[in-house]
């Protein structure tokens, strides 16, 4: 018996990128879009075209390069947004316009619209979008806090105006599973024409129930799940793609639905999104966390040795995680490195391999044994190399109990090497002070986080930093066997991203392209 197909709508490049500091470069967006397309994502929400020229260019380029996925752009409920969105997505073989407006009492108050005025706007804007393309998605933002009668009314208006997908967003993560399922079921049963469109669910994780709410909505009749890689997104994030896909796969007995996702590509995509966004995946994160398939308890280890299914409900290989962790070292050759990286999901051209091999040998000289996690960290650091305003040339620190702690740094600033010695409250603080003196800025450090990549005193440290400057937030991430060096590189990466964004934000919009300033 054929199973119902659940459409996977990935919004990593739109809602995911709205996480504070998660801004991606143009090239990074194209790369992630390509990986999503290759993995079998049905619909890629590539961005918010009117937010900035950069967002428009990224959505347009993704649309041109898409092979299988529908390419979607987001637009507020006005003709200007919708026209701009269409201009970006029209290059795709399968374009979609996604337009939305906040329908709850709190959201209606922001543009100061009456219920009738908003209803008229929904009709007019959805009709306008449908005249541009036959694939239109409409969302009543904050649907789960919208009055039932009014929600039914506006959903019916959107369907009659030509929307082909009705998305029901739990914008602030307010609902619960039983309510989520009931809401979809009631809408399908109540609203005229509901049986002729696809209902979608878009859940946020503020109460930690995004995945449960999304799966419950599917039980209620939704056939599209909106989600992101690693659950990336505003505040506590969105429904995690990897969680809903693997939940339906592992528990297909009680959730008899299929998707088009190649789950063996999940782990590589998770790592790439983590690297380009600067958001580390928590170790105990379901499916893709470092500890997701780790077993330390003696009872668990004994059971695993006798039968892996004792404590594993899915195989590591199901999500693209290598079954074995072969140790590499300084005697490993280029062919062995290429093979190992391919096992980890990294396919390299000859020139790329040459550069990575040099970095690998340098790491092998400092670290006796190089594990999979070391290679992944190496690839993530390599991927961030490029044309930046600031590049670390050398760093020497003096630290200890007697002080003063100081850092002597040579920093290449827009092509010119500059050197300085700075002091601080510890080697990391001294290092950051050196960067600030060589490249003055007003950015404030919001987050500094260190995580060991592997075990042992020679383990690489992965450092993540988050910086804020005039409302703009950027993150940086780097790994090195020297924690201070990793800290310097991560700090410089975040600063480079802030420098690149200065002056790029369009007036009238916030740094993520979402604003109520122009609802007309």
User: Are 27 and 150 found together in one domain?
Assistant: yes
Q: How many CA atoms lie within 13 A of 74 on its CB side?
A: 26
Q: How many domains does the chain have?
A: 4
Question: Which residues does the annotation place in the binding site for Mn(2+)?
Answer: 15, 202, 204, 238
The per-residue pLDDT for range 93-129, each reduced to its tens digit, is: 999 999 999 999 999 999 999 999 999 999 999 999 9
Q: Is the pLDDT of residue 517 over 80?
A: no
The phi-psi region of residue 426 (left if phi > 0; otherwise alpha if psi is between -120 and 50; otherwise beta) is: left
Give residue-wise pLDDT tens across range 480-490: 989 999 999 99
CATH assignment of the domain containing 101: 3.20.20.70
In a domain, 425, yes or no: yes
- DSSP annotation of 230 reads G
Q: Is 92 found in the same domain as 29?
A: yes
Do 422 and 301 belong to one domain?
no
203 in a structural domain: yes
Residue 457 counted as domain residue: yes
| Mean pLDDT score of the chain | 88
Q: How far apart are CA 278 and CA 272, in angstroms?
A: 10
pLDDT tier at 3 (50, 70, 90 boundaries)?
Answer: confident
Q: How many residues does the chain have?
A: 520
For 295, phi then psi, to 5°, come to: -135, 115
The annotated binding site is made up of 15, 202, 204, 238
Which segment of 48-52, 190-194, 337-341 scores lowest on mean pLDDT? 337-341
Question: Considering the domain boundaries, does residue 510 fall inside one?
Answer: no
Confidence band (pLDDT; 50, 70, 90) for 89?
A: very high
pTM, two decimals, is 0.82
In a domain, 518, yes or no: no
Q: Which tens digits make up the pLDDT trace of 54-81?
A: 899 999 999 999 999 999 999 999 999 9
Domain that holds residue 252: 4-277
Residues 6+ apart with CB under 8 A from 485: 392, 395
Q: Which residues contact 320 (CB under 8 A, 6 or more apart)?
A: 263, 264, 265, 266, 267, 268, 345
């Amino acid at each position: 018996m054929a199973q119902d197909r659940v459409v996977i709508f990935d919004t990593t490049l739109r809602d995911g990128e709205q996480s504070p500091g998660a801004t991606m470069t143009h090239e990074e967006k194209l790369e992630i879009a390509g990986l999503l397309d290759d993995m079998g994502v049905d619909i890629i929400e590539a961005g918010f075209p009117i937010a900035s020229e950069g967002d428009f260019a990224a959505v347009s380029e993704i649309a041109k390069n898409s092979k299988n996925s529908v390419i979607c752009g987001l637009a507020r409920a006005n003709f200007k947004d919708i026209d701009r969105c269409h201009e970006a997505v029209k290059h795709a073989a399968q374009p979609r316009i996604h337009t939305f407006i906040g329908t709850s009492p709190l959201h209606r108050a922001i543009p100061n619209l009456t219920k009738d005025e908003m209803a008229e706007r929904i009709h007019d804007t959805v009709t306008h979008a449908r005249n541009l393309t036959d694939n239109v998605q409409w969302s009543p933002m904050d649907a789960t806090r919208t009055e039932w009668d009014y929600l039914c009314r506006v959903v019916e208006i959107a369907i009659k105006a030509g929307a082909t997908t009705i998305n029901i967003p739990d914008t602030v993560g307010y609902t619960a599973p039983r309510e989520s399922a009931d809401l979809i079921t009631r809408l399908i049963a109540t609203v005229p024409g509901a049986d002729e469109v696809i209902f979608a669910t878009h859940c946020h994780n503020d109460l930690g129930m995004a995945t449960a709410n999304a799966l419950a909505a599917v039980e209620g009749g939704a056939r599209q799940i909106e989600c992101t890689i690693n659950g990336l997104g505003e505040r506590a994030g969105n429904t995690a793609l990897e969680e809903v896909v693997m939940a339906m796969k592992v528990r297909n007995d009680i959730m008899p639905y299929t998707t088009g996702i190649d789950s063996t590509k999940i782990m590589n995509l998770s790592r790439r999104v983590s690297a380009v966004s600067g958001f580390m995946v928590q170790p105990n994160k379901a499916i893709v966390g470092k500890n997701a398939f780790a077993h330390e308890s003696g009872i668990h280890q004994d059971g695993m040795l006798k039968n892996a299914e004792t404590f594993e409900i899915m195989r590591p290989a199901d999500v693209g995680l290598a079954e074995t962790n072969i140790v590499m070292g300084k005697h490993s050759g280029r062919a062995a490195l290429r093979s190992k990286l391919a096992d980890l999901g990294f396919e390299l051209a000859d020139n790329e391999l040459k550069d990575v091999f040099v970095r690998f040998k340098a790491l092998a000289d400092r670290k006796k044994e190089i594990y999979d996690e070391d290679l992944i960290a190496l690839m993530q650091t390599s991927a961030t190399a490029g044309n930046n305003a600031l590049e670390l040339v050398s760093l020497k620190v003096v630290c200890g109990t007697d002080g003063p702690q100081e850092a002597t740094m040579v920093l290449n600033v827009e092509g010119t090497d500059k050197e300085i010695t700075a002091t601080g409250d510890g080697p990391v603080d001294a290092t950051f002070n050196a960067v600030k003196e060589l490249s003055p800025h007003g950015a404030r450090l919001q987050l500094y986080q260190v995580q060991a990549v592997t075990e042992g005193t020679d383990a690489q440290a992965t450092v993540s930093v988050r910086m804020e400057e005039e409302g703009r937030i950027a993150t940086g991430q780097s790994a090195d066997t020297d924690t201070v060096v990793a800290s310097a590189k991560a700090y410089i990466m975040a600063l480079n991203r802030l420098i690149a964004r200065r002056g790029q934000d369009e007036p009238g919009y916030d740094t993520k392209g979402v604003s109520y300033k122009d609802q007309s």
